[in-house]
Amino acid sequence: MSHEFEVGSVHVGSGELFLIAGPCVIENEAHVRKMADAIQRVTADLGIPYIFKASYDKANRTSVTSFRGPGLKEGTAILRRLAESTGLPVLTDVHEPSQCEIAAEGADVLQIPAFLCRQTDLLLAAGKTGRAINVKKGQFVAPWDMKHTVEKIATTGNSRVFLTERGASFGYNNLVVDMRSLPVMRKLAPVVFDGTHSVQTPSAANGVSGGQPEFIPVLTRAAVAAGVDGIFLEVHDNPAEAKSDGANALDLKYLRPLLETLLAIHKAVS
């Protein structure tokens, strides 16, 4: 059964590799526009379909003092202006059922965070918006059990769902990626591999998450070789100064060479 659908000009599940990328959180409007423009130049040159991502609120930060973002209404307005000015489809997180309709006004894809992938009311509210839904597989969930998540959203009449692998808990403050999860979940829906959250060391850096970004190329190459529909990357022009998840973000200067390699692998295994 085909799971193919469109998000703007991006054909999800079509066999063409696509990219979801952007900063973890909206730091300010000028910064998200700068990042969108820079990433769009790279993807246009390489011919890879692209969805911009950024969160209006990071509600699951480790520390209460961590930066969360501009909030739902302001963040949604920023994303909609960005989409209108760039022509890019846009993805953002939702955390509560009440946020879904408002977020859908500014985003083409609503993303369910990994910690919330089993929250029935949230999944149903997101599905009812008619937007495409990206569900990140929880670090605590077996890949075959994501069928229940897909089925919950399907009850709303929305079949525009894809799943993202972002690693599984492996002891304390560590994640590991089981590449077997990719073909397992791909039987349920198109699958994206998150190359940046998979290298997190959750809550391991004195109240914030650490990371091992040197392994981003290794894992993303393996995922494309294993067969995925898309790649998810948090990209920042200055990871050391990023207000969220800088420790595991890909530095913008490394994006082009990484994508060139991934496209070559995708061509070889397609």
pLDDT tens figures, 129-152: 999 999 999 999 999 999 999 999
d(Cα 188, Cα 221) in Å, to the nearest integer? 22
Largest CA distance in the chain: 46
Q: Report residue 258's pLDDT band, with 50, 70 and 90 as the boundaries.
A: very high
- Rounded CA-CA distance 145/132 in Å is 20
- In one letter, which amino acid is 251? D
Query: Residue 142's Cα: distance from chain center in Å?
Result: 19
Residue 67 Cα distances to 5, 55, 74, 233, 243, angstroms: 35, 12, 15, 20, 6
The length of the chain, given as a count of residues: 270
Are the CB atoms for 251 and 244 separated by under 8 Å? no
Please tell me the pTM assigned to this model: 0.95
Report residue 201's pLDDT band, with 50, 70 and 90 as the boundaries. confident
Q: What is the pLDDT of residue 211?
A: 82
Per-residue pLDDT tens over the stretch 152-169: 999 999 999 999 999 999
User: Average pLDDT of the chain?
Assistant: 94
pLDDT of residue 240: 92
The structure tokens listed for 116 are 């919330």
Q: Which residue has the tokens 């530095």?
A: 251
* pLDDT given for residue 202 in this prediction: 77
For the segment 238-258, the average pLDDT, to the nearest whole number, is 94
The per-residue pLDDT for range 202-218, each reduced to its tens digit, is 776 666 667 899 999 99
Going by pLDDT thresholds of 50, 70 and 90, the confidence category of residue 1 is low
Q: Distances from the Cα of 55 to the Cαs of 13, 38, 149, 267, in angstroms?
A: 24, 18, 22, 31
| Domains of the chain with CATH codes | 5-269 (3.20.20.70)
Distance of alpha carbon 269 from alpha carbon 122, whole angstroms: 36
